[in-house]
A and B are shown apart, each in its own frame.
Chain A
C-alpha cells in the first residue's frame, strides 16, 4: 500500500537560513508527487508538483526514486514561508491523493 512519511512535525529556522522539509514515500508503481501548503487562515493549496520541475516561491523539490524521497528545499527562508506543508502521493489506480502528516514550518526573525 502507498504511504507518505514526513518525519518532522515542526521545523523552526531563522530568516535567511536554508530550509529542507523531508518527505519519503512507498509505492510500487510510478509515483506522482506533490507539495501542498496551508498558510494561516487560508485554504490548502498546491505548491508544486514533481513533473513540472518548477520553482514556486523559491521552493524546489526533486524526486529521488532511489531514495524514494521528495524533499522540499529553499535556500533562504522568508517569514512568509511560515505555514503547514503536506507532501502528497497520487496513485492513478486508486484515483486519490495520499497525504503525509504534515510539517509545520516556523521562520523566526
Chain B
C-alpha cells in the first residue's frame, strides 16, 4: 500500500508566522504535489516537484514556497501566513512513467491562520 503522510492533521497559526507543512511518501515516487482544497473551488495546485531539488509552480503559488531535499519528502512553506491561507492542504505523490497517472493523497492538514 502506498503511504503518504502529512505531519499534522490540524494546525493553528497566527498571521505573519512562518509555517512548515511536511509530506512524506514511502513508495519512491518521483512526483510530489501540494494542493489546497476549498469549498466551491475544488483542488488547486500550489507547487509540484518531479525530482529532488526540482520544483514547478502550479496554479496558485503566490505566498508559498517548497523544498525537496530528499526524494521521499516535500515541504510546503508559508513564509508569512495570512488569514486567506486558512484552508485544507493536501499532499500527493505519483510515480513517473508512461501510463502512471494515479495520484496518491495524504490525509490533509487543516490550517487555520488567526
Residue ranges of A at the interface with B (Cβ–Cβ < 8 Å): 6, 9, 32, 34, 43-46, 49, 86, 90, 95-102
Contact = CB atoms under 8 A, between A and B. Distances in A.
Contacts of A95: 31, 48, 50, 56
Interface in B47-63: 48, 50, 56, 58
SS of A interface (majority): strand
A32 B50 CA distance: 19
Contacts of A46: 102-103
Interface of B: 4, 31, 33, 35, 40-45, 48, 50, 56, 58, 90, 92, 101-103, 105-108
Given A34-B101, A95-B48, A96-B48, A43 B108 contact: yes
B107 A43 contact: yes
